[in-house]
Amino acid sequence: MINTYIDHTLLNAEATLAQIQKLCEEAIAYKFATVCINSSYVSAAAKILEKSDVKVCTVVGFPLGATSTKSKVEEAKQAIKDGASEIDMVLHQGQLKSKEFQYVENDIKAVKNCIGTHTLKVILEICNLTDEEIAEACLIAEQAGADFVKTSTGFGSHGATLKAVQIMRENISNRVQIKASGGIRDSKTAQQYINIGVTRIGASSGIAIVEGTSSSTNY
C-alpha cells in the first residue's frame, strides 16, 4: 500500500498548531508512515499520535544544513526526548563542496550517535550538488551510519529527480534506504520512485497521492 511509504509533511514556517493537529489526524486516518514536522511541534504531535502506529519525524539543521554539529546534535537530542522517532538532518553542502569529507562524515556520525537506534535520514539537497557530489554524499552518509539518504528539503530550487535517485541507489548498499521528497504530488510520480527503489516518500500531497488525484503544493 502506497500510504505506508509516505511521510505526511508540513514544514512551512507559518504552520500553526491547528494545522499540525489536522496533519496528525490525516496521518492516522490514512495510516501514513510518519508526520514530518518542525521540531517545535514534536511534543504536541507525539501526544496526538501516541495511540496510533504513525511515527513522528522531524528535521535538524533545516533547511540549509550549515549550522554547527553541536547545534544539530542538541536539536536531535531534544527532538528524541520530545517524542520523535525519526530525524531528517540536512547535510553540510558547503563542506562537501570544499571536499572536507571528514567534516561531513563526522557531522552525520555525531547526530546518529546521539539518537542511537532511532532512524536517521540525511538530506542531500540534490539541486545544489553535481552528480559526483551526490555519489560522494551517499558514500559518506553510509559510512557515518545513516539509515536513509534523502533527496531534498523541499525548499531548494527543485526536489527529487529520477536521475538523482538512480545515482543514490548506485552508491549505497542495501542497508541504506532512500527517501524522495520535493515535487511528488500524484500517485503516478510516487510509484515511479518506488519502482526504482525508494522506500519513503516525503510529501505534503500524501492524501492526493493515495486518492489518485493531484496537488499543487511544493513539497
| Enzyme catalytic residues | 88, 150, 179
Q: Are 73 and 107 in contact (CB under 8 A)?
A: no
Query: Among 135, 59, 67, which residue's Cα sits nearest to residue 95?
Result: 67
Q: What is the DSSP letter of 157?
A: S
Rounded to whole angstroms, the Cα distance separating 206 from 182 reads: 12
What element of type H or E holds 168? helix 162-170
Nearest CA-CA partner of 152 in 122, 123, 193:
123
Chain position carrying cell 559510512: 143
- How far out from the chain centre does Cα 154 lie? 10
Q: How far apart are CA 126 and CA 158, in angstroms?
A: 8
Q: Do strands 6-10 and 55-60 pair parallel, antiparallel, or not at all (unpaired)?
A: unpaired
Contacts of 122 (CB under 8 A, 6+ apart): 88, 89, 90, 91, 108, 137, 141, 144, 146, 148, 149, 150
